[in-house]
């Protein structure tokens, strides 16, 4: 296997396999330094921030007094990098006195900050390539002639160090590979990612928006997005009520003492918003999790063994203090609504309740056509039990119950020792996103700790008080993240039962056929089908194309023949042909489509 020379941030050089992950990371790091040198060469007075190699790309942050670098200038920067590679520029290493390094960048506050951060004993390790010095932070290829298969991808704004209190810089992204076919495959995958990006689709279909000026990480759901969310929420509530859950509403604010009791304040304080001082000694906290709220519902009455299992569910709004740089569309937000549920059970009810919850999750997955998922059972580490809630007998019994339930259901699963939470074992259901990434969609989590911390009891058959076990479960996670997942899976073409507009009716002539179109729409709406008539003074071809662009499942065209025969001309999304049918037949067709959750019959 071919090898390449790689320099470490301490200046040592070694040969490694070119096609290894380390080789690819070093190639990205070199490409970032070449981009930094190209920016320095092309723009006088430009201020340069970090040059970083990430898991799948590289980038450079910059800032200049006049207009920032534009996408139109990327081709010129690529040409400069190509010339550097042709000249086979070499990376040089030096330990530079801090005062000398600072003198060279005296007008660049970002480079100054980086130098000061990495200085040790009056020196700073630096790479130099094409006359531009950078703080040495990552291993880098030594020779520039290997940078051939690369492309600068985009420009975007990025706060310096990801903090909104810092200046907004210009970030230029790029990708690079040793082989041309790998670059082409990567660019193709990125194009697919752009086409599926829920942020892009959300803007195109007017589903939601986030405006940092009025609140970063706080989504505004537009009417179409709100319609999809409402359908999902009603579906979830109906499924849970049918499965004997009692739905509640609880406040988004809670006394801070509750989160101190639960342990959230000690363990998750950095993810919580600052408490609000009410001026009378009371501190209120925006809730980061719903479990303490549902515990209060449980505690409000004396509970008997006859009440258990007690299933409490809520579409509960929560708030997390996410850093500005981590926020992303609907996937990472500061306000979210969790499809949350907590069941209080006796110890011997755990296995049956676990199986019941799992069946509910799989039933929901079937309706949303989620098929690519795996199960991961997480146990405590048997060699390091000190970091877990102390009750060996309960741990062993609970883990065996979870395993037994999975075996009884005949499901394949992966056992992960040491992955349990400190308060109990759990099952994570890992799904694949549209782009092949793995994320946790659903969780079933046993909890022995919170019932003890909050001193929960039930009166047993023996008349004595006993401690219940608490089961946390989330079926589809938060509405925000689930919406992002579905948008990307469906590529914005939501199945009929979820689509914000299910039918678009286009009269051939609004004067002659508009009234009939309104009649058809009225009959559809009477059946709770989301239909609209396009009365705009536009050409019919334009209206049909826009209906396809907006991914409406059914477009109906009505003209003289349809009006005379009580019929409609039907065109399904993604199809070219229009099929004539009676109005009654279409009503049966779309009702069956919705009732089957848009699964093919």
Encode burial over 471-509: b for 16+ CB neighbours within 10 A, e otherwise. bbbbbbbbbbbbbbbbbbbbebbbbbbbbbbbbbbbbbe
Q: Which range is least confidently modeled, 3-12, 252-261, 459-468?
A: 3-12
Rounded Cα distance between 570 and 557, Å, is 7
Rounded Cα distance between 514 and 136, Å, is 69
Omega before residue 194 within 30° of 0, cis? no
Look at residue 474 and tell me if it is in a domain: yes
Check whether residue 459 and residue 520 sit in a common domain.
no
Residue 481: name the closest of 237, 229, 293 by CA. Answer: 229
Of the candidates 196, 224, 247, which is a domain's last residue?
A: 196
Per-residue pLDDT, averaged over 344-371, amounts to 93
Of the candidates 446, 469, 490, which is a domain's last residue?
A: 490
Per-residue pLDDT, averaged over 534-560, amounts to 94
Residue 66 pLDDT > 80: no
For residues 409 and 430, the answer to whether their CB atoms sit within 8 Å is: no
Check whether residue 429 and residue 473 sit in a common domain.
yes
**What's the CATH number where 322 sits?**
3.30.930.10
* pLDDT tens per residue across span 380-400: 887 777 777 777 777 888 888
Per-residue pLDDT, averaged over 308-315, amounts to 97
**What's the CATH number where 569 sits?**
3.40.50.800
Residue 67 pLDDT > 80: no
Known binding-site residue numbers for Zn(2+)? 291, 342, 472
Check whether residue 470 and residue 510 sit in a common domain.
no
Residue 324 pLDDT > 80: no
Confidence band, pLDDT 50/70/90 cuts, at residue 408: confident
- Tokens read off for 47: 């201020």
The Cβ-side half-sphere exposure at 8, using a 13 Å CA radius, reads 6
Confidence band, pLDDT 50/70/90 cuts, at residue 1: low
For residues 228 and 475, the answer to whether their CB atoms sit within 8 Å is: no
Residue 528: name the closest of 506, 496, 559, 490 by CA. Answer: 496
Check whether residue 416 and residue 502 sit in a common domain.
no
Per-residue pLDDT, averaged over 77-82, amounts to 94
Per-residue pLDDT, averaged over 357-366, amounts to 94
Look at residue 552 and tell me if it is in a domain: yes
Per-residue pLDDT, averaged over 177-190, amounts to 92
Check whether residue 557 and residue 518 sit in a common domain.
yes
Q: Which range is least confidently modeled, 17-26, 257-266, 393-402?
A: 393-402
**What's the CATH number where 87 sits?**
3.30.980.10
Given CA atoms 423, 425, 429, 432 in this order, what sign does their dihedral have? Answer: positive
User: What angle is formed at CA 510 by the lines to CA 509 and CA 512, rounded to 5 degrees?
Assistant: 65
Known binding-site residue numbers? 291, 342, 472
Per-residue pLDDT, averaged over 93-121, amounts to 89
For residues 527 and 591, the answer to whether their CB atoms sit within 8 Å is: yes
Check whether residue 443 and residue 507 sit in a common domain.
no
Look at residue 579 and tell me if it is in a domain: yes
According to the model, what pLDDT value does residue 471 have? 94
Check whether residue 365 and residue 483 sit in a common domain.
yes
Rounded Cα distance between 506 and 230, Å, is 26
User: Residue 139 belongs to what domain range?
Assistant: 3-196
Rounded Cα distance between 468 and 352, Å, is 15
For residues 289 and 323, the answer to whether their CB atoms sit within 8 Å is: no
Query: Highest-confidence range of 218-232, 323-337, 372-386, by mean pLDDT?
Result: 218-232
In the sheet with 567-572, reading across from the earlier edge strand, the strands are 531-533, 503-507, 554-558, 567-572, 579-582
Look at residue 272 and tell me if it is in a domain: no
Q: Which range is least confidently modeled, 237-241, 414-418, 490-494, 517-521?
A: 414-418
Residue 128 pLDDT > 60: yes
Give Cβ neighbours of residue 496 (< 8 Å, ≥ 6 apart): 502, 553, 554, 590, 593, 594, 598
Q: Which residue has the higher pLDDT, 472 or 69?
A: 472
Q: Name the domain count of the chain.
A: 3
According to the model, what pLDDT value does residue 44 have? 86
Check whether residue 461 and residue 501 sit in a common domain.
no
Check whether residue 87 and residue 126 sit in a common domain.
yes
Q: Which residue has the higher pLDDT, 387 or 234?
A: 234
Confidence band, pLDDT 50/70/90 cuts, at residue 418: confident
Per-residue pLDDT, averaged over 44-73, amounts to 88
User: What angle is formed at CA 524 by the lines to CA 520 and CA 526, rounded to 5 degrees?
Assistant: 115
According to the model, what pLDDT value does residue 434 have? 82
Give Cβ neighbours of residue 71 (< 8 Å, ≥ 6 apart): 154, 155
The Cα-based distances of 6 to 26, 30, 79, 125, 142 in angstroms read 7, 10, 24, 16, 6
Residue 340: name the closest of 442, 217, 271 by CA. Answer: 442
Check whether residue 447 and residue 586 sit in a common domain.
no
Look at residue 107 and tell me if it is in a domain: yes
Per cent of the chain over pLDDT 70 is: 100
According to the model, what pLDDT value does residue 449 have? 87
Element (H, E) at 52: strand 47-53
According to the model, what pLDDT value does residue 158 have? 84
For residues 271 and 304, the answer to whether their CB atoms sit within 8 Å is: no
Rounded Cα distance between 242 and 264, Å, is 32
Look at residue 216 and tell me if it is in a domain: no
Look at residue 261 and tell me if it is in a domain: no
Q: Which range is least confidently modeled, 255-259, 286-290, 435-439?
A: 435-439
Per cent of the chain over pLDDT 90 is: 63
Residue 373 is classified by DSSP as: E
Residue 601 pLDDT > 70: no
Check whether residue 163 and residue 140 sit in a common domain.
yes
According to the model, what pLDDT value does residue 409 have? 85
* pLDDT tens per residue across span 366-384: 999 998 899 998 888 877 7
Look at residue 106 and tell me if it is in a domain: yes
Check whether residue 16 and residue 151 sit in a common domain.
yes
Residue 109 pLDDT > 80: yes
Give Cβ neighbours of residue 216 (< 8 Å, ≥ 6 apart): 164, 210, 324, 327, 334
Of the candidates 456, 490, 524, which is a domain's last residue?
A: 490
Average pLDDT, the chain: 91
Encode burial over 568-581: b for 16+ CB neighbours within 10 A, e otherwise. bbbbbbeeeeeeeb
């Amino acid at each position: 296997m071919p090898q390449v020379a790689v320099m470490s941030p301490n200046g040592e050089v070694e040969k490694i396999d070119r096609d290894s992950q380390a080789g690819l990371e070093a190639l990205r790091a070199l490409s970032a330094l070449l981009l930094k040198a190209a920016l320095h060469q092309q723009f006088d007075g430009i201020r340069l921030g970090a040059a970083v190699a990430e898991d799948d790309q590289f980038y450079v942050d910059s800032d200049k007094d006049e207009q920032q670098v534009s996408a139109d200038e990327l081709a010129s920067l690529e040409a400069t990098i190509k010339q550097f590679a042709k000249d086979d520029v070499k990376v040089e290493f030096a330990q530079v006195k801090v005062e000398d390094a600072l003198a060279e960048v005296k007008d660049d506050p970002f480079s100054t900050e980086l130098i000061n951060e990495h200085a040790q004993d009056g020196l700073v390790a630096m790479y130099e390539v094409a006359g531009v010095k950078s703080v040495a932070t990552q291993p880098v290829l030594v020779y520039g002639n290997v940078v051939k298969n690369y492309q600068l991808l985009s420009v975007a704004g990025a706060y310096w160090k990801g903090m909104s209190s810092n200046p907004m810089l210009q970030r230029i992204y790029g990708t690079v590979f040793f082989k041309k076919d790998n670059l082409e495959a990567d660019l193709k995958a990125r194009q697919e990612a752009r086409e599926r990006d829920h942020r892009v689709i959300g803007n195109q279909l007017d589903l939601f928006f986030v405006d940092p000026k009025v609140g970063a990480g706080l989504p505004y759901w537009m009417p179409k997005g709100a319609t999809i969310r409402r359908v999902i929420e009603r579906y979830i509530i109906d499924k849970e009520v049918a499965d004997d859950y009692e739905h509640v509403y609880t406040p988004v604010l809670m006394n801070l003492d509750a989160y101190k009791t639960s342990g959230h304040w000690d363990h998750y304080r950095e993810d919580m918003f600052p408490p609000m001082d009410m001026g009378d000694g009371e501190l209120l906290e925006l809730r980061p999790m719903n479990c303490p709220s549902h515990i209060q519902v449980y505690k409000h009455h004396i509970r008997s063994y006859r009440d258990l299992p007690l299933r409490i569910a809520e579409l509960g709004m929560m708030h997390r203090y996410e850093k500005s740089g981590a926020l992303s569309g609907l996937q990472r937000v500061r306000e979210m609504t969790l499809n949350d549920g907590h069941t209080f059970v006796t110890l011997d009810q755990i296995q049956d309740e676990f199986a019941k919850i799992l069946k509910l999750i799989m039933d929901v997955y079937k309706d949303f056509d989620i098929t690519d998922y795996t199960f991961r059972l997480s146990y405590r580490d048997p060699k390091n039990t000190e970091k877990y809630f102390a009750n060996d007998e309960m741990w062993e019994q609970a883990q065996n119950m979870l395993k037994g339930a999975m075996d009884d259901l005949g499901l394949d699963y992966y056992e992960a020792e040491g992955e349990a939470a400190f308060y109990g074992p759990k099952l994570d259901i890992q799904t694949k996103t549209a782009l092949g990434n793995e994320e946790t969609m659903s969780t079933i989590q046993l909890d022995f700790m919170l019932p003890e911390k909050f001193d929960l009891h039930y009166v047993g058959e023996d008349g004595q008080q006993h401690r219940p076990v608490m089961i946390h479960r989330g079926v589809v996670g938060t509405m925000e993240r689930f919406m992002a997942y579905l948008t990307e899976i469906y590529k914005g073409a939501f199945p009929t039962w979820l689509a914000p507009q299910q039918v678009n009716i286009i009269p051939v002539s609004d004067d002659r056929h508009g009234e009939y179109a309104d009649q058809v729409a009225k009959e559809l709406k009477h059946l709770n089908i989301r239909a609209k008539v396009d009365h705009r003074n536009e050409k019919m071809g334009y209206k049909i194309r826009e209906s396809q662009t907006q991914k409406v499942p059914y477009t109906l065209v009505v003209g003289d023949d349809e009006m005379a025969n009580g019929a409609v001309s039907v065109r399904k999304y993604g199809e070219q042909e229009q099929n004539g049918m009676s109005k009654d037949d279409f009503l049966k067709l779309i009702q069956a489509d919705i009732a089957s959750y848009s699964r093919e019959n």
